[in-house]
Amino acid sequence: MLKPSYPIRTDRLILRPFTPDDLDSLHAIHSRPDVARYLYWEPRDTEQVAEALKTKTTQSALLEPGQALALAVELATTGALIGDAMLFWHSDQHRSGEIGYIFHPGHHGRGYATETAEALLRLGFDGLDLHRITGRLDGRNDASAQVLQRVGMRREAHLVENEMVKGEWTDELIYAILQRQWRARH
């Protein structure tokens, strides 16, 4: 079980639960074609973002396997919401989880995704005592692959044309890190 003490602070970011007040900022991220490009969903309209946000506001703790923790990512200096981060708790028996994140393109290339991924790994390993955490991504998403490599995850699989996404066959990359490997880095 994981009930984080909020807010979660990194050097430059604040990770916190989503609130209904995040609708406009989240829409500014989720409505963009360049954000949705490598995701399962198309750019979202306000109603679709409101529905997603409704779910996210209930995902502030991990009480049992199968749940996801959804975190709004803010710039500490301005309070601007710039990203959407997730920690999935897949299995108690196997102590496994997964991380995910998306950011507004206006904030790409500044290390915010790496900082967020580190915080998610810390929550998974220190907060849930997970043994293994993965990250899955579209094989064309080089920037996200670089983030996972920077936080010490290794590429374990390249699944060729394993999913039909938005009318085309896509490759999937799977990255992973074990708790002991993460601890050795920290």
Specify if 82 maps to a domain.
yes
Q: Which helix (H) or strand (E) holds 16?
A: strand 13-16
What pLDDT is recorded for position 147?
Answer: 98
* pLDDT value at residue 72: 98
Q: Are strands 154-165 and 81-91 parallel, antiparallel or unpaired?
A: unpaired
Please check whether residue 95 lies inside any domain of the structure.
yes
Q: How far apart are CA 142 and CA 150, in angstroms?
A: 12
Asked if residue 137 belongs to a domain, the reply is no
Domain assignment of residue 108, given as a range: 8-131
Assess if residue 26 is contained within a domain.
yes
Q: Is residue 70 part of a domain?
A: yes
Q: Is residue 25 part of a domain?
A: yes
pLDDT, position 8: 98
Residue pair 51/41 in contact by the 8 Å Cβ criterion: no
CATH value at residue 86: 3.40.630.30
Distance CA 56, CA 86 (A): 10
In a domain, 84, yes or no: yes
CB 3 within 8 A of CB 17: no
How far apart are alpha carbons 80 and 64 in whole angstroms? 31
User: Tell me, what's the pLDDT at 60?
Assistant: 97
Q: For residue 19, give both structure tokens.
A: 């609130």
pLDDT tens per residue, range 112-158: 999 999 999 999 999 999 999 999 999 999 999 999 999 999 999 99
With respect to residue 71, please indicate whether it lies within any of the assigned structural domains: yes
Number of domains composing the chain: 1
- Low-confidence stretches of the chain (pLDDT < 70) are none
For residue 37, the model assigns a pLDDT of 95
Torsion sign across C-alpha atoms 174, 12, 1, 29: negative
131 neighbors 178 (Cβ within 8 angstroms): yes
| Mean pLDDT value across the chain | 97
As given in the structure block, the two tokens for residue 11 are 């050097």
